Structure 1
Amino acid sequence: MAFMDCHFFSESLGVSASMHVILPQSTTGQIGMESNVIKKKHPTLFLLHGLSDDHTIWMRRTSIERYAAAYGLAVVMPAVNRSFYTDMAVGYKYWTFISEELPALARSFFPLSEAREDTFVAGLSMGGYGAFKLALSCPNRFSAAASLSGALDIASIAKQRDPVEFQRIFGDLDQFAGSRNDLFQLAEEVAQGEGPSPMLYQCCGTEDFLYQDNVRFRDHCRALKLDLTYEEEPGSHEWGYWDQKIQNVLNWLPIR
């Protein structure tokens, strides 16, 4: 695998932005690394960080480079600060950045496939919310999405944490339900639509403080008969759990 620490100017944010990128590489002499290149334009996983992290965290806390190598999978890991992957009410347009600008820029810099069947998204905690938001908002562009310990029920989480911060991100929280930021609403629209529906993978540890929120979203998706794979087992909100589960995600992805 090749690793790039990429810094570039974002038109939608109006500031310089950052991402880590790992790309498949055909090698024969590299020790301890299985390498696989499937095609000239690589299937791609957009891998999203959590609330207190940045674009470096997946490389620092897991062996994502080693795991992805066997699948011939490119991985793009962008930084979005504490934005919840949203055009913030007070702040920057991170939804525009993550949904429109970043994929286009990454594909202009690197040989990444533009095909829906080769495009996936995953994330942990806040990034789990962002992954499902991307796939459910843009089901014609993402074929699969995975949430690890995702912050999926924002209305519930905002009441438990700092509502002032969530108001700066989402605006009036009384108007959140049914909005374009509400995953429950987005899931209903995908279920009722005539277009493609992404495969969804969701996991959460039973000792995680977000467990009940995950159960509510799981039950909502099951009632809508969405294509959801759900896993739970003992575990909390920590990197040992996510390092294990991201391996499950890569094995689950429909990589051609």
Structure 2
Amino acid sequence: MAFIQCDFYSDVLGLSSSMYVILPQNAQSQIGMESRAAQKKHKTLFLLHGLSDDHTIWLRRTSIERYAAPLGLAVVMPAAGRSFYSNMASGGDYWTFVSEELPALARSFFPLSDRREDNFVAGLSMGGYGAFKLALNKPEQYAAAASLSGALDVSPFEERAPEDFKRIYGTAAVAEALPNNLFLAAQELKASCRPIPELYQYCGTEDFLYEDNLKFRRHAEQLGLPLTYTEGSGDHSWAYWDAYIQRVLEWLPLGD
């Protein structure tokens, strides 16, 4: 695998930003690594970080490079601050950045496929919310999405972190509207004629977000969305996210 740190200027954010990118590489002599790369544009996983982290966290806390190597899968890990992948009331337009500018920039820098069936998104906690937000609001762009311990219901966030909530959404009305409300986004998608991505959801039973995840699971199942749900004993920690990102990679519809 080739690992690249990419620093760039974002017109949407009006500032310099960063992303880490893992690119497939054909290599025969890397000790302890199996590598594979297609001779065409790469299938891509956009991998999102949580509220207290940044674009470096997946490489620092997991072996994502090693996990992705035998799959011939590119991995794009952007920096999004404490934005909840939203156009912030007091901050940058991170929703526009991650849903529009980031994919276009990444494909202009690297040989990444723009076909829906070759693009996937996943994340943990705030990033799990971001992953489902992208999949449900931009279903033409992603074939599948995975949320690990996702903060999928933003309504309790106002009480849990009022200052962050005000800075990100401003008002409850904004948080409860599209594209921020995942329950409404799922309902609108199901009622439309748009393609529906495959969804994977995991949360630990001791996680403080467990009840929020159960609420989204019930909603998705009532709508008949294609959801694979898993849970197990665990809290909000990397011991579980490292294990479950491997399951996500096994689950992704990568084909040949």
- The interval holding the TM-score normalised by the smaller chain is over 0.9
Alignment of 1:91-110 (within 5 A): 91-110=91-110
Q: Distance in 2 between matches of 1:98 and 1:151?
A: 17
Provide the secondary structure at the position in 1 that maps to 2:114. coil
Instruction: Please show how residues 103-252 of structure 1 align to structure 2 within 5 Å.
Output: 103-159=103-159, 161-252=160-251
Deviations 1:111-151 (A, max 9, x none): 00000000000000000000000010100111100000000
**Counterpart AA for 1:58:** W
Does 131-140 or 174-183 show the bigger shift? Answer: 174-183
Distance 1:10 1:69 in 2: 29
Secondary structure of the residue aligned to 1:155 is coil
Q: RMSD of the TM alignment (CA)?
A: 0.9
Q: What amino acid does structure 2 have at the position aligned with 1:235?
A: G
Q: Which runs of 4+ in 1 moved over 3 A?
A: none
Q: Offset at 1:163?
A: 1.5
In structure 2, runs of 5+ residues without a counterpart are none
Question: 2-side partners of 1:63 and 1:22: how far apart?
Answer: 12
Which residue of 2 is the match for residue 47 of structure 1? 47
The residue aligned with 1:6 is: 6
Structure 1 letter corresponding to 2:27: T
Alignment of 1:31-110 (within 5 A): 31-110=31-110
Q: Is the 8 A contact 2:157 2:165 kept in 1?
A: no
Amino acid at match of 1:11: D
- C-alpha deviation, 1:175, in angstroms: 4.6
TM-score normalised to the size of structure 2? Answer: 0.98
AA matched with 2:49: H
In the alignment, is the contact (CA less than 8 A) between 2:124 and 2:150 conserved in 1? yes
Structure 1 residue 157: deviation in Å? 2.5
Provide the secondary structure at the position in 2 that maps to 1:60: helix
Unaligned stretches of 5+ residues in structure 1: none
Normalising by structure 1, we get a TM-score of 0.98
Quick one: which amino acid aligns to residue 180 of structure 1? P
TM superposition shift of 1:177: 2.3
- Specify the alignment match of 1:23 in structure 2: 23
CA distance in 1, matches of 2:164, 2:232: 31
Q: Do the aligned residues in 1 keep the contact of 2:139 with 2:197 (CA within 8 Å)?
A: yes
- Distance, in Å, in 2 between the alignment partners of 1:89 and 1:185 is 20
Residues matched between the structures, number: 255
Identity fraction in percent:
64
Cα distance in structure 1, aligned partners of 2:151 and 2:233: 18
For residue 53 of structure 2, what is the amino acid of its counterpart? D
TM-superposed deviation, 1:174 = 4.1
Query: Residue type matched to 1:47 in 2?
Result: L
1:53-91 CA distances to partner (integer Å, 9 max, x unpaired)?
A: 000000000000000001100000000000000000111
Shift in Å, 1:38: 3.0
Distance in 1 between residues matched to 2:39 and 2:133, nearest whole Å: 28
